[in-house]
Amino acid sequence: MSKTTVAIIGSGNIGTDLMIKVLRNSDHLEMGALVGIDPNSDGLARAKKMGIQTSHTGIDGLIGMDIWKDIDIVFDATSAKAHQYNWKTIEPYADKRIIDLTPAAIGPFLVPPVNFEQHLDVRNVNMVTCGGQATIPMVAAVSQCVNVHYGEIVASISSKSAGPGTRANIDEFTETTAHAIEKVGRAKKGKAIIILNPAEPPLVMRDTVFTLSEMGDQNAIEQSIKKMVSEVQKYVPGYSLHQEVQFEEIPADSPVYIEGLGQCHGLKTSIFLRVEGAGHYLPSYAGNLDIMTSAALATAEKWVSTKNQA
């Protein structure tokens, strides 16, 4: 069976890592082109060495290539602002689909093990953020058992794994992730925090997830969480629980105050995650980048395999 041709916009860390994943790991995809805006970027240099077509004039350069007619899926690994222009340019081409790895959130949020089936026919899907891909499956796992009033995530990543694109989109990161916690994770209220850790040697990505929900069966919630971890591990092997799931009952006579919700009580669930990257292009501590590229690749693979099975 022939493979589906894809292109990547953005020749930085994320775009380059994704290119290598497509080349090494994909069963259904083949690289058509990698484009960026920096003619001296390492990503474009690597692509040329691997025989991949390149351009340093972004989406406009991609559309000008002969291979454009053969491309079915475009990955956007640029920035939130750039994605607005990229989608406006691509949208008239009805045969093209785009997977957005920026926090632009023009299309609906997609987290593969949570809501893939809801967006089979959507042409532009958004992969939320690295923190969102790591933590929203956990909020969703709790939501499968009980109604979640509040979900809060803290994503701690190495400063060295935060490139200029990540740093330029900090506000978009927190806003987009919080919204996706509510929309995809099904928490009534969401909050997201990102920490850039300057420690040397660099630390592997860590994520902490707190939920406050109705009272429920703690064993059922824990099993739901562990099952979801196994689902994420299918495309991110370095994803794991760093500690056992912890529970705390917040009694009605001693509630906690949550902005936007007021006084709340119920079951507090604390989930501690560790995300180690595969080391395809970047060091293994850059799990924040690895989970984004892995989730995007998993989405495209599932799109194609679902289409082939139809």
Q: Are strands 256-258 and 71-76 parallel, antiparallel or unpaired?
A: unpaired
Burial, 206: exposed, middle or buried (Cβ in 10 Å; 0-12, 13-18, 19+)? buried
Quote the CA–CA distance of 74 and 5 in Å, as a whole number: 9
Instruction: Please tell me which residue, 172 or 7, carries the higher pLDDT value.
Output: 7
**pLDDT for res 61:** 98
Residue 130 known to be catalytic = yes
Token representation of residue 305: 């395999």
Is residue 207 within 8 A of residue 133, CB to CB? The reply is no
Q: Are strands 187-197 and 4-9 parallel, antiparallel or unpaired?
A: unpaired
E strands in 77-119 = 97-100
**pLDDT for res 172:** 85
Main-chain phi, psi angles of 128, to 5 degrees: 65, -110
Asked whether the predicted pLDDT for residue 310 surpasses 80, the reply is no
- Specify whether the backbone of 67 is left (phi greater than 0), alpha (psi in -120 to 50) or beta: alpha
**pLDDT for res 140:** 98
Name the residue among 158, 172, 181 with its Cα closest to residue 277.
Answer: 158
Token representation of residue 182: 């509510």
Q: pLDDT, tens digit, for every residue of 15-44?
A: 999 999 999 999 999 999 999 999 999 999
Q: pLDDT, tens digit, for every residue of 196-218?
A: 999 999 999 999 999 999 999 99
Asked whether the predicted pLDDT for residue 252 surpasses 70, the reply is yes
Q: How far apart are the first and last CA of the chain?
A: 14
Place 80 in a pLDDT band, splitting at 50, 70 and 90: confident
Token representation of residue 88: 């406006």
Q: Which domains does the chain have, with CATH numbers?
A: 4-127+290-309 (3.40.50.720), 130-285 (3.30.360.10)
Choose the catalytic residue: 130, 181, 229, 267.
130
**pLDDT for res 163:** 74
Percentage of the residues of the chain whose pLDDT score is greater than 70: 99
**pLDDT for res 166:** 78
Is residue 111 within 8 A of residue 128, CB to CB? The reply is yes
Instruction: Please tell me which residue, 308 or 183, carries the higher pLDDT value.
Output: 183
**pLDDT for res 264:** 97
Q: pLDDT, tens digit, for every residue of 164-190?
A: 777 877 888 899 999 999 999 999 999
Asked whether the predicted pLDDT for residue 299 surpasses 70, the reply is yes
Place 1 in a pLDDT band, splitting at 50, 70 and 90: low
Is residue 114 within 8 A of residue 136, CB to CB? The reply is yes
